Amino acid sequence: MPRLLEELKNRNVFRVAALYLIVAWLVLQVADVFMSFLPLPEWLPTLVFVLLVLGFPIALVLAWAFEVTPEGVKREEPAEQKKTSETARSRFQNVFIIFSLVAIAGYTIVLQFIDTPVEEAATPPAINSIVVLPLDDLTNDPGQAYFVAGMHEALINELSKIKALRVISKTSAMAYRDSARSVPQIAQELAVDAVVEGSVMRVGDTVRVTTQLIDARSDRHLWADNYDRPVADIFALYSDIATEIAEQIHIEVAPVEAARLSKSERINPRVYELYLQARYLCDNWSPNEMLQGIELARQAVALAPDYAPALAELAMCLQYAAFFNFLNPLDISGESMSAAERSVATDPGLAEAYVALAGVRYYLRYERESSEQLLYRALELNPGSVKALTHLSWLLGESGRFDEAIPPTMKAIEYDPLSTVAKHALGQIHSLGRDYDKAIEAYSEALALDPGDPTLSYSLGLAHAHKRELEPALKYTAKALELAPDSSIYIGGHGYVSAIAGFTDEAQRLLDMLLAREEQPDYEIAVIQTGLGNHDAALDRLETAYEKRNSQLVYIPEDKMFDPLRNHPRFKQLLARLGW
């Protein structure tokens, strides 16, 4: 045995083994660094490790058989034929090897000490709230913005399925895109315990997502990982990330929630792209983009008739377009209802399917009770759905159930504190409830977040008008019309305020603009006629609006602007037909 050890030492086998381990460790570290920002497959580090392990015995055999000398590679001589004294070069190599091994061992021990939490007397505070910040697009292709935005929203939706976890909605998270604020600052502003950051790189039909979880209270990184998937397996990717985050923060996940998170069906990449593009465009709520979004959603449904998210998006986008008078409700009611019903039937566990069906039934069919139940079902499936919460807020407020409308509205604001939609919903509840000071406060807060949103200026102007504060009322309704000069809603609103302020010529001019349209907006015409005191003409238009299933009619039971008509028999009959 001593002779064997002497021979191993003489043939530099020990030295080669040590050098091999040092180089292998460095290779693994470099591979880990490149994995963090290149679209490399997840299995690559495992392959590198296996190859290094297989190469180790080969290196030892070669070290036994050969020696590297200044003259080149030679076959190794037996120990007795070689000098036993080490040269200065050999001693330097030995010192280098020993120093490197000690450094690696020390680094590993320190890293283990840092990564291993020290047991403290007090348990660290639980993580019960989280925000997923906008994902960085490493593809650097503006044409892929819809894809990255869709992935961001999908991750939020996945985490929102966990009832015990408060997840900030997309609108508020998007406010921090390109923000210079630190993680603790963002967390403090949104009142969350943890932050998820990440990036997306897409190469063809493969997508790579890098995510990291940060405890915002200590700014400590809790977890990070890379995920590579074909676009066809994108749902499995969302599920894996959400499940891993839930495990890392030790949040309680109910069995039914775990089942929803584990869904991993495959999807045609083209269908998914069309769906994301449709969603991206419809969320902008502008006429042209919304109509483009509808066409893309139709294409997605044509390619995949049973893809529930695309069906739900088509139904909602059609309903919203009808609400804003971009489309005739009678023209799209059947298509919208069919898409929503198919969405629910295809995927009974999809919260958005119930929101879509509730929206169609309520705004196009005036079916309040069934719509309300559908929204509660959506919230059972996804307690953090801001869309379901705001729809419920609208329905309850427009039904005169103001006290009941406040809790879902405040919860929507809690989940989406920077959302103008949720704050506008709060203002609408107060306005319909005749508490105009609170309405003005809520609308003003929303307008401060987005001064370019005409809906906010319009609603703020009407709240001032109902308080008989006509100067600011005219200012804000005029601003809304300036921002969206073709909108029949804002033309009608400014015409109404002009009429009650005594500017009847301006009101008549705006009324004539609406009457000149090929597709006359009956509800908005009725609004101006009411302001001008032409009650019979207003009632004629409201009745026509009902026949056309105009969505705006849900406001008339509570809106103050229709008080002059409230005791009229025809108005009471109209309310009865609406189900009030």
Predicted pLDDT at 121: 42
Judge residue 143's burial from the number of C-beta atoms within 10 Å of its C-beta, 0-12 exposed, 13-18 middle, 19 or more buried: exposed
| Residue 84: per-residue pLDDT | 47
Relative to beta strand 66-69, strand 129-132 is unpaired
CB 537 within 8 A of CB 515: no
Per-residue pLDDT of the chain (580 residues; tens, 9 = 90+): 555 555 555 556 666 666 677 777 677 776 666 655 555 566 667 777 777 677 767 766 666 555 555 454 455 555 444 444 445 455 555 555 555 555 555 555 555 555 544 444 445 678 999 999 999 988 877 778 888 899 999 999 889 888 899 999 998 999 898 888 899 999 999 999 999 999 998 888 888 899 999 998 888 888 888 888 898 888 888 888 998 998 888 888 888 888 877 766 788 999 999 999 999 999 887 889 999 999 999 999 999 999 999 999 999 999 999 999 999 999 999 999 999 999 999 999 999 999 999 999 999 999 999 999 999 999 999 998 999 999 999 999 999 999 999 999 999 999 999 989 999 999 999 999 999 999 999 999 999 999 999 999 999 999 999 999 999 999 999 999 999 999 999 999 999 999 999 999 999 999 999 999 999 999 999 999 999 999 999 999 999 999 999 999 999 999 999 999 999 999 999 999 998 8
Q: Are 92 and 128 in contact (CB under 8 A)?
A: no
Distance separating alpha carbons of residues 359 and 387, to the nearest angstrom = 11
DSSP character at residue 238: H
* Torsion angle defined by CA atoms of residues 149, 150, 156 and 162, in that order, rounded to the nearest 10 degrees: 180
Residues 6+ apart with CB under 8 A from 579: 366, 367, 368
Q: What residue ranges define each of the domains in the chain, with the CATH number in brackets? A: 2-115 (no CATH), 129-261 (3.40.50.10610), 486-580 (no CATH)
Long-range contacts formed by 437-446: CB under 8 A, 24+ apart: 437/467, 439/463, 440/464, 440/467, 446/420
DSSP 86: P
CB 430 within 8 A of CB 446: no
